[in-house]
């Protein structure tokens, strides 16, 4: 399994070099911030039938060849059904079938490496998962979790696409793995975001009552651009809350 | 350069150029666009030729005339992949509805446009819009032209100043804290008839909200050919999510994507 940056995410990055509540003051982002932004956008590429799936994607026919560049391509139902579950997992993880909204991209913010964001950045730029794809993740939740575990263990990376799926299917079972992985690497603050989103999604009382939750998700002015300053206290608090939350699920 | 629409029309009435019904004329010249300390759209001076821009967003009635004349089939009608919104969805979540298209902007279940002919047309893609423009002998405004017209000579975040709280007077937007619960607090959950809110100083309606308005042009030369840009925010946009109902933000979407909050207004060069 390779880790890479989706080609569309690169496009998005070049188009939207900086904005947000916290602006750059007209300056370019620092190299550290820029590098961290690239790091955040990395996706995981599952190994299961990867070459086969990539070849199928390359050979997709457009719905209508006359409509020109950029038309959405979707694997036919027949071709899709011919894939094994593991191959479907790979297909969904690397090839979003639908579109994303005009304003849904996360505007880059200065000193990204020093922030813990309320939300994750987009995984696929102008594209997004289709209903068929999100339903697959939900319908095969246990398998999807297991496959992500395997990939994370092998690659030592939790790609942005994985993070979105973890949140979308509310994979609370993965909290110990996420915490362990975070403690082993420390760099990926979006893992803290994932933990907060899992607690928020589950309406975990101790998190809903916290100042962090209020600032990120409940204040009248809280938005998808909101963030906490990264420091050891905030980091420790999120990890402790997530641990307590998980332990409460499995007393 | 602040020139109220009336002045513009008087100017052109008194010159060789004739005012166009439904348009305001924007004189050629240099204009300031962009936002200070905003690298996506930095403050700069741009030079444009005289152009005309529609007072209103293009309506269902206008698009229906195009379809009737050409039997054109939109991307959404061909691919059945329009993305629609229903209250209860998480932020930025849209769902595909195979029945949705410009005739049924939020799917057949949500009703058609029979009584919404004066609403902006939606669920059409950038690709569809180019076909409309060719037929109608018009074009989309460029990114700069849109902003010049929107700003109407102002240099603030909004054409009414910097007080975001005033947005509700000028724009059909989403006032709810999130999109889990329907919001019709301004009278409209989805689109509103064009011209339902106060215009900008040049007499242009719905420059913010109602529908995202596609423009021509790229932010930089390296952008993918599959990306189009749209501006002004939409009925879906709230201050907590999106917040693009201003004079400086620039959205992006695939050129074949069809959303029920995407529309356009047209421009002409002569």
Per-residue pLDDT tens digits for B161-219: 999 999 999 999 999 999 999 999 999 999 999 999 999 999 999 999 999 999 999 98
pLDDT band per the 50, 70, 90 thresholds, residue A157: very high
**Contact by Cβ (8 Å): A168, A182:** no
pLDDT tens readout for residues A141-153: 999 999 999 999 9
**Contact by Cβ (8 Å): B248, B175:** no
**Cβ separation A70–B252 shorter than 8 A:** no
pLDDT along chain B (270 residues), means of 10: 43 44 96 87 95 98 98 95 94 93 95 97 97 98 98 97 96 95 96 98 98 95 90 96 93 95 96
All residues of chain A having their beta carbon less than 8 Å from the beta carbon of residue B220 are 14-15
pLDDT tens readout for residues A62-90: 544 444 555 567 888 889 999 999 999 99
Instruction: Name the phi and psi angles at A228, rounded to 5.
Output: -105, 150
All residues of chain B having their beta carbon less than 8 Å from the beta carbon of residue A104 are 92, 242
How high is the pLDDT of residue A71?
57
- What are B98's two structure tokens? 């195979």
Measured between CA atoms, how close is B117 to chain A, in angstroms? 24
Q: Is A222 on the interface with B (CB under 8 A)?
A: yes
How high is the pLDDT of residue A67?
45
- pTM here? 0.88
Look at the alpha carbons of A177, A179, A184, A189 in this order and tell me if their dihedral is positive or negative.
Answer: positive
**How much is the ipTM here?**
0.88
How high is the pLDDT of residue B192?
98
How high is the pLDDT of residue A185?
86
Residue A113 has pLDDT above 70, yes or no: yes
Residue B137 CB contacts under 8 Å (≥ 6 apart), including other chains: B268
Element (H, E) at A236: helix A232-249
Which residue of chain A has the CA closest to B221?
Answer: A15
SS3 B204: coil
The domain spans of chain A are: 3-249
**Cβ separation B79–A63 shorter than 8 A:** yes
Measured between CA atoms, how close is A251 to chain B, in angstroms? 30
Q: Is B223 on the interface with A (CB under 8 A)?
A: yes
**Cβ separation A102–B230 shorter than 8 A:** yes
Output Rg (C-alpha) for chain A, integer angstroms. 19
- What are A16's two structure tokens? 């939207």
Q: How many whole angstroms separate alpha carbon A240 and alpha carbon B238?
A: 33
Helix axes A232-249, A175-185, angle to 10 degrees: 160
For chain A, the residue count is: 251
Average pLDDT, chain A: 85
How high is the pLDDT of residue B158?
98
Q: Is B164 on the interface with A (CB under 8 A)?
A: no
Name the percent of chain A in helix, strand, coil, to the closest 5: 55, 5, 40
Stretch 69-98 of chain B: residues touching chain A, C-beta under 8 Å: 75, 78-79, 81, 83, 91-92, 94-96
Q: Which has the closest alpha carbon to B192: B263, B130, B135, B144?
A: B263
- What are B125's two structure tokens? 């893609």
Q: Which CATH architecture has domain B57-268?
A: Alpha-Beta Complex (3.90)
**Cβ separation B127–A17 shorter than 8 A:** no
How high is the pLDDT of residue A29?
72
All residues of chain B having their beta carbon less than 8 Å from the beta carbon of residue A24 are 37, 39
Measured between CA atoms, how close is A136 to chain B, in angstroms? 15
pLDDT band per the 50, 70, 90 thresholds, residue A28: low
Strand duo B29-33 + B23-26: pairing? unpaired
- What are A38's two structure tokens? 């690239």
Instruction: Name the phi and psi angles at B8, rounded to 5.
Output: -65, -45
* Residue A30 Cα to chain centre, angstroms: 23
A25 or B206, higher pLDDT = B206
How high is the pLDDT of residue A106?
64
How high is the pLDDT of residue A158?
97
Q: Is A223 on the interface with B (CB under 8 A)?
A: yes
Q: Which of A98-112, A221-235, B58-72 has the lowest mean pLDDT?
A: A98-112
**Contact by Cβ (8 Å): B171, B185:** no
**Cβ separation A12–B252 shorter than 8 A:** yes
């Amino acid at each position: 399994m390779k880790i890479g940056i989706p080609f569309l995410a690169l496009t998005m990055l070049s188009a939207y070099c900086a904005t947000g509540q916290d602006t750059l003051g007209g300056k370019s982002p620092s190299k550290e911030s820029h590098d961290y932004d690239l790091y955040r956008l990395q996706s995981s590429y599952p190994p299961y039938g990867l070459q086969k799936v990539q070849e199928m994607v390359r050979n997709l026919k457009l719905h209508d060849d006359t409509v020109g560049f950029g038309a959405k391509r979707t694997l036919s139902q027949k071709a899709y059904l011919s894939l094994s579950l593991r191959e479907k997992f790979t297909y969904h993880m690397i090839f979003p079938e639908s579109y994303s909204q005009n304003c849904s991209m996360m505007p880059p913010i200065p000193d990204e490496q020093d922030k813990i964001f309320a939300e994750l950045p987009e995984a696929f730029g102008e594209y997004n998962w289709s209903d068929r794809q999100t339903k697959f993740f939900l319908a095969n939740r246990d398998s999807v979790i297991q496959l992500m575990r395997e990939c994370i263990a092998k690659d030592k990376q939790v790609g942005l696409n994985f993070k979105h799926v973890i949140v979308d299917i509310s994979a609370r079972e993965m909290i110990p793995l996420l915490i362990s992985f975070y403690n082993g690497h420390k760099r990926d603050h979006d893992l803290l975001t994932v933990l907060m989103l899992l607690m928020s999604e589950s309406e975990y009382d101790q998190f809903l009552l916290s100042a962090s939750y209020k600032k990120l998700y409940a204040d009248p002015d809280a938005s998808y651009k909101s963030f906490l300053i990264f420091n050891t206290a905030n980091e420790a608090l999120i990890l402790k809350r997530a641990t307590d939350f998980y332990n409460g699920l499995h007393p | 350069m602040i020139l109220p629409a009336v002045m513009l029309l008087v100017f052109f009435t008194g010159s060789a150029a004739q005012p166009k019904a439904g348009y305001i004329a924007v004189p050629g010249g240099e204009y300031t666009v962009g936002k200070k300390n905003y690298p996506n759209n930095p403050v700069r001076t741009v030079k444009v030729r005289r152009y005309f821009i529609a007072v209103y967003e293009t309506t269902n009635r206008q698009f229906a005339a195009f379809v009737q004349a050409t039997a054109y089939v939109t991307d959404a009608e061909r691919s059945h992949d329009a993305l629609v919104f229903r209250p209860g969805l998480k932020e930025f979540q849209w769902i595909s509805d195979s029945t949705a298209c410009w005739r049924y902007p939020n799917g057949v279940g949500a009703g058609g446009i029979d009584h919404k002919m004066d609403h902006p047309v939606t669920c059409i893609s950038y690709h569809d819009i180019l076909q409309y423009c060719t037929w109608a002998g018009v074009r989309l405004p460029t990114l700069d032209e849109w902003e010049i017209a929107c700003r109407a000579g102002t240099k603030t975040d909004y054409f009414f100043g910097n007080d975001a709280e005033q947005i509700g007077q000028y724009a059909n937007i989403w006032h709810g804290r999130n999109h889990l619960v329907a919001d019709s607090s301004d009278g409209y959950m989805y689109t509103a008839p064009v011209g339902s809110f106060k215009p900008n100083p040049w007499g242009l309606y719905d420059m913010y909200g109602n529908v995202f308005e596609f423009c021509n042009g790229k932010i930089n030369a390296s952008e993918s050919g599959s990306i189009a840009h749209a501006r002004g925010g939409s009925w879906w946009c709230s201050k907590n999510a999106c917040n693009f109902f201003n004079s400086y933000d620039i959205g992006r979407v695939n050129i074949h994507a069809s959303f029920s909050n995407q529309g356009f207004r047209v421009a002409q060069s002569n």
